[in-house]
Chains A and B, each alone.
Chain A
Amino acid sequence: MTTEKQQETVELLLNMGPQHPATHGVFRMVLWIDGERVVDVEPHIGYLHRGSEKLCEGESYAQIVTLFDRLDYIANFNNELVVCRAAEKLMGVEVPERAQYIRVILCELNRIASHLLFYGTYGLDAGAMTPVLYAFRERERIQNLFEAVSGARMMHNFFRIGGVNEDVPPDFGQRVRRIMGELRRGMEECDRLLSFNEIFLSRTRGIGAIDAETAIDYGLTGPNLRACGVPYDVRKDDPYEVYDRLEFDVPVAEHGDCWDRYWLRVQEMYQSLHIVEQCLEQMPEGPVMAQLRRIARPPKGEVFVHCENPRGDLGVYLVSDGGPKPYRVKVRPPSFCSLMPLKHLMRGCYVADCVVILGSIDIVLGEVDR
């Protein structure tokens, strides 16, 4: 400021989103950048707010399943599961074993589908074009199976309070076994294409690292937390459905950077396949729906239920006043919590890293905004 001519350098304010190819929906980040470096970032959410929680209060229990389908629209079954379990817990319903196995199989397949989508879009974020197409090719097999089971490729509305809507088709086991072989091959192909690619490694290793303590403070769950080395998985630590009868590993990484998060999800897909295999072996015959009254009326009370979503720990807090409609539904969305450390992750990185970091925490805006 000594001479008059000297000009002050200011930070450039760059609006990323809500219409930006890399923000995975309608999400806006305001970046203050100094050259290519990000000085600060301010996330803006709410562009996809539909008031789902409030809407739940006006709908019957059977209807809110459709609303939960649309929270995390990439992992529909997992979302349906959590709300069904909440109501079941409140009503004290015993779900038939076969239904539980069907639910677990579908949820795990959905986890694979969701992680495949992550894999594909993450490739796109890093600038690779092909992963997304390979991932969709594999995902298509799963979606096709879902269509055969539930009649819809997404937004299934298949789980019911007390079981599932319909028994699986007779050739289900066969089909699942067949696509599992194909999926494994496809996933290995995807792995080959991206996981250890040098450019990809240099783009993701050491980028957006977060340590375990901070991650816990911010309330991260799921793969994002496990990437920091905290082995927390609801399926193991608070087993629901039939997870306590299944053998599987929970992959854990250490550094909590983008590559760790990516790698973890790829490993989880293999574990999910493993789970599905066991379920198919153990699945008993029997009814798929508990004997219930036609319209669910949970008794007065409140309940909190959480399940392991592909994105983390999805919780539902349900208050019932004994009527046919819930009094209050509160969702604890894992994506929303994953977004919280955004500032922490992005400060000081490059503009290009922002995209990679945002991709690596794998948010779904439908769940963030609700």
Chain B
Amino acid sequence: MIGREVALAAAGLVALFVGLSVVVLSLVWLERKFLGRLQGRIGPMRVGPFGLLQPVADAVKLILKEDVVPAWADKGLFWIAPILMFVPSFMVWVTIPFSRDLVIRNLDMGLFYFIAVSVVSVVGLVMAGWSSASKYAILGGLRSAAQLVSYEIPVIMAVLGVVMLAGSMNLLTVVDKQASVPYILVQPLGLAVFLIAGVAEVGRTPFDIYPAESEIVGGPFVEYSGAHWAIFFLAEYINTFVVALLVTLLFLGGWQWPHLPGVWAPVVVLVKTYLVVMVIFWFRATFPRLRIDQLMAFGWQVLIPLSFVNIVLTGIQLYYRWPSWSLSLMSLGIILAMAYWQYRTQTAPAQALARSYSQRAYSQRRGA
């Protein structure tokens, strides 16, 4: 009896691992290809048709590479850090459903479990930074600690908004509740907060403060190479995917699609998720990076208050039983107000400045 369960669990783990690897490889390919196209390039073309095997080649290269450990590194921590980062990103999959039945274990407190587990990965980053005995890595590790801890709050708050609407922490219920209206229409503010904070959680542009390549050359990962680095890499991509998947499940209605039979559920989820992932890549193609203090200021002064506002609005709407479009209107209003405020305080002055500079241009036009 026990033997069978262990065997089943092992098989499940292997299946999950293989599935995740495929997901990561596809993400790597998609990112390189999509970024390439956004930048007017072709992206990988050589290995396999359309460069489809490029990520495989990369993976093989990484695994075959020498795994250098710096002489001064704290060897134990150095070895454990990637694993500590990888395990949580692996564990969250236990509760993520791809359809009503396709889930390893549907927990009633699924969202809670998810948040609790995913926070752990910051430990891995800090450890990696500290144990590398490199100044860049230490800076990166400390940055990652600050960043991940502060952006965890808006993530939780945004999730809380959804939980309030759905009345459950069970992901299945959350998705089922969106059968008629996905929450993106009800809570655009929640989605914005969740997406921004989620992108920050996984350290992607414009919040790639801790790996910031042009400043601290890769941050915590700077001393890693070979297979160890590959594990970080894997974890990062899985985390990105998980964020996108959660956006799909919490805001885009999961596997809900009008007039589509149930067997298509996983496909619908995957398509939606990949679209969200592409949005994240799209951000990467467009934005510069924030600075660490701006990142913290943005997190604590803008995102966290906004997430609270979101919760309060949701509460008001639920308490007075207003129709749900009132919530979307309020949300949109707040987003627009933020955009306007931002325009007034930043863009408009810069544009005015540019105009005034144009008038000051020094010229010795003939006859003038």
Which residues of chain B from 323 to 368 have any CB-CB distance to chain A below 8 Å in the complex?
A: 342, 346-347, 350-351, 353-354, 356-358, 360-366
Q: A21-B213, A137-B40 given as contacts; is B288 within 8 A of A127 (CB)? A: yes
Q: Are A202 and B346 in contact (CB under 8 A)?
A: yes
Give the residues in chain A near B287, CB-CB below 8 Å.
127-128, 197, 199
Closest approach, in angstroms, between the C-beta of A262 and any C-beta of chain B? 11
Closest to B143 in A: A36
Residue of A nearest to B293 (CB): A350
Contact with B along A229-265 (1 / 0, CB 8 A): 1010100100000000001111111100001100110
For residue A200, which residues in chain B have a CB less than 8 angstroms away from its CB? 288
Q: Which of B39, B215, B285 sits near A352, CB closer than 8 Å?
A: B215
Whether A198 and B347, one on each chain, are in contact in the complex, defined by CB atoms closer than 8 angstroms, is yes
A196 vs B350: C-alpha distance when bound (angstroms): 7
A177 is an interface residue with CB less than 8 A from chain B: no
A354 to B292 alpha-carbon distance, docked (Å) = 13
- The answer, yes or no, to whether B206 is at the interface (CB within 8 Å) is yes
Cα A275 to Cα B160 in complex, Å, equals 60
> Given A127-B288, A129-B35, is A201 in contact with B213 using a C-beta cutoff of 8 Å?
no
Residues of A within 8 A of B35 (CB): 129
Query: Which of A15, A22, A130, A231 is within 8 Å of B38, CB to CB?
Result: A130
A47-75 CB mask vs B (1 if < 8 Å, else 0) is 00000000000000000000000000000
A130, B350: Cβ atoms under 8 Å? no
Question: Please, which residue of chain A has its CB at the minimum distance from the CB of B354?
Answer: A263
Contacts of B289 in A (CB 8 A): 126-128, 199, 203, 352
A362 contacts chain B at the CB level, 8 A cutoff = no
Report the minimum CB–CB distance from B9 to chain A (whole Å). 42
Confirm or deny: B223 has a beta carbon within 8 angstroms of a beta carbon on chain A: no
Residue of A nearest to B366 (CB): A247
A203 touching B290, Cβ below 8 Å: yes
Q: What CA separation (Å) do A252 and B139 show in the bound complex?
A: 38
- Please judge, given known A-B contacts A36-B292, A202-B290, whether A134 and B40 are in contact too, CB under 8 Å: yes
Q: A123–B205 Cα gap in the complex (Å)?
A: 13
B358 engages A251 (CB within 8 Å) = yes
CB-CB under 8 A for A198 and B40, given A124-B214, A129-B35, A236-B364: no
CB-based nearest A residue for B292: A36
Of B40, B292, B294, B347, the residue contacting A196 (CB under 8 A) is B347
A130 close to B363 (CB less than 8 A): no
Q: Are A22 and B215 in touch, CB under 8 angstroms?
A: yes
Render A185-206 as a binary contact track against B, CB cut-off 8 A, 1 for contact: 0000000011111111111010
Cβ contacts B111-143/A at 8 Å (1 or 0 each): 000000000000000000000000110110000
Q: A22-B215, A248-B363 are in contact. Are A352 and B291 (CB under 8 A)?
A: yes
The answer to whether B357 and A254 have CB atoms under 8 Å apart is yes
Residues of chain A with a CB closer than 8 A to B288's CB: 123, 126-128, 194, 197, 199-200, 203
A350: contacting residue among B213, B292, B364, CB under 8 A: B292
The secondary structure that dominates the B interface is: helix
Q: Tell me how far the C-beta of B101 lies from the nearest C-beta in chain A, rounded to whole angstroms.
A: 41
Which residues in B have their C-beta under 8 angstroms from that of A20? 217
B156 part of interface (Cβ distance < 8 Å): no
Bound form: Cα–Cα A350–B215 in Å: 11
Is B39 touching A22 in the complex (CB atoms < 8 A)?
no
Note all chain A residues with C-beta closer than 8 A to B212. Answer: 127, 352
* A128–B290 CA distance with the chains assembled, in angstroms: 10
Partner of B208 from the list A127, A130, A195, A249 (CB cut-off 8 Å) is A127
A369 proximal to B (CB < 8 A): no
User: Could you tell me if B216 and A21 are in contact, using CB atoms closer than 8 angstroms?
Assistant: no
B contact residues around A259 at 8 Å (CB): 350
Nearest-neighbor residue (CB-CB) of A194 within chain B: B288
Q: How far is the CA of A263 from the CA of B355 in the complex (A)?
A: 11
> Chain A residues near B136 (CB, 8 Å)?
14
- Are A249 and B214 CB-contacts (below 8 A) given A127-B288, A203-B291, A263-B354? no
Residues in A neighbouring B100, C-beta threshold 8 A: none
Question: Chain A contacts of B356 at CB under 8 A?
Answer: 254
Residue of B nearest to A199 (CB): B288
Are the CB atoms of A21 and B214 closer together than 8 Å? Answer: yes
From residue B327, how far is it (CB to closest CB) to chain A in Å?
A: 27
Partner-A contacts on B (CB < 8 A): 35, 38-41, 135-136, 138-139, 205-206, 208, 212-217, 284-294, 342, 346-347, 350-351, 353-354, 356-358, 360-366
Knowing that A127-B288, A249-B362 touch, tell me 13 more A-B residue pairs with CB under 8 angstroms.
Answer: A14-B136, A20-B217, A123-B288, A126-B214, A127-B208, A127-B212, A129-B39, A134-B39, A196-B350, A198-B342, A200-B288, A202-B294, A249-B361
A-B contact pairs, 27 of them (CB 8 A): A14-B135, A22-B214, A22-B215, A125-B214, A127-B208, A128-B286, A129-B39, A129-B284, A133-B41, A197-B287, A198-B347, A199-B290, A205-B350, A233-B362, A251-B357, A251-B358, A252-B361, A254-B357, A259-B350, A264-B357, A267-B357, A350-B292, A351-B216, A352-B289, A352-B291, A353-B291, A355-B214
